[in-house]
Amino acid sequence: MNKELEISNQTLIAAVLMLVIGAGIGYFSYAALNAPIVGNSTTMCSVAGATGPFTPDMKKVNDIGSLLQDVVYLQTGENHTVQYVKYTLQDELVVLDYTIDGAYPQEIYTTKDLKYIVQQPTAVDTFRAQIDSAKAQMEAQLKKASEPAPKSDKPEVLLFVMSFCPYGNLAENSMVDVVSLLGDSISFEPVYILSGGNGKYQSLHGTNELNQDVREKIIFKKYGAKKWMEYVYDVNNNCTVDNVETCWKDAAQRHDINVSYVEEEYAKNFNAIADAEVAKTNQYGVQGSPTLIMNGKEYSGARSSEAFKAFICSGFSVQPEKCNTTLSTQEGVSTGSCG
């Protein structure tokens, strides 16, 4: 292993132990893993054989090591080997030393009965049940992600975005050629990630973005996917969230979009349009822009025109000839999202 990779892995694993596993399942806090020494007396015992007045229950020691291994797995998605080394007795606390993959020493501070980890809000047994539940959920999600996309005669394609999320804008730009190619063969719809209700709505990047989200949805509903893509591509490359309240009109005029119609629809149906976007965002549990969902399956992969096309084409019961056309494999940014 080269030194740069070794440092990177050590930083990753150290960070793992400071992260919250999830709502309601507790955490190994940084303070717990680096707790101050209590008192001055220390009795040290090695794996080879315990000495002194205290001998830990090795089943519990191994159970805590297994728990630590699962914590690392949940945070990295990879299996790492956790091995017990020794313990140190510090007054009323026991410090358990483990290594991860033969390196990266970790100290876990516990009570003498090994039932509680310092500053861990639940007992070890309770934490184990919570970790097992989290593992089951994660593995179910991984299994679902590995399953092929459901097929249909006309795949439903939903692209969840925010009008001024840079990652979403790049995904939209990559979708231009896909929508142009597949056209009426798919049922395509952009969905704007909004929250709120009862006339009070929010978009991540502020009021101007919220306004533009609604205007772009009006344009999609009136003019269809291809015209929407042309317009959005123009706005993405020529407008900003600061000047969009005037810039959107210039872009609309360049693409023969009736500005007055958009303004009238905006005035009359703003709440209804926003409510529909909130409902669909909640229905699919989407939080990040961009999110591409086809026939109910969320996409994870490269964000190039060709990659998007290949994913969508995998959803046809019988692929049309157009799916044999190769599009650009260039990506603006392959990872990242707003949310």
Q: Rounded to whole angstroms, how far apart are CA atoms 304 and 332? A: 8
What's the mean pLDDT when you consider all of the chain? 83
Residue 166 phi, psi dihedral angles, 5° rounding: -60, -35
Residue 233 CA, distance from chain mean position:
25
pLDDT confidence of residue 82: 94
Domain boundary among 142, 171, 194: 142
147 lies in some domain = no
Element (H, E) at 194: none
> Do 167 and 316 share a structural domain?
yes
How many domains, the chain?
A: 2
Domain boundary among 88, 113, 142: 142
> Do 194 and 308 share a structural domain?
yes
> Do 254 and 198 share a structural domain?
yes
> Do 161 and 57 share a structural domain?
no
Q: Rounded to whole angstroms, how far apart are CA atoms 233 and 328? A: 16
Residue 148 CA, distance from chain mean position:
20
Structural domain range at position 78: 3-142
Q: Rounded to whole angstroms, how far apart are CA atoms 178 and 172? A: 10
Average pLDDT over residues 224-245: 95
> Do 162 and 137 share a structural domain?
no
The per-residue pLDDT for range 96-151, each reduced to its tens digit, is: 999 999 998 999 999 999 999 987 778 999 989 989 998 888 887 777 666 777 89
pTM: 0.62
Three-state SS for 277?
Answer: helix
The per-residue pLDDT for range 247-264, each reduced to its tens digit, is: 999 999 999 999 999 999
The per-residue pLDDT for range 165-193, each reduced to its tens digit, is: 999 999 999 999 999 999 889 999 999 99
> Do 41 and 127 share a structural domain?
yes
> Do 128 and 179 share a structural domain?
no
Q: What percent of the chain has pLDDT over 70?
A: 82
The per-residue pLDDT for range 7-58, each reduced to its tens digit, is: 344 444 444 444 333 322 333 333 333 333 333 334 444 443 344 568 899 9
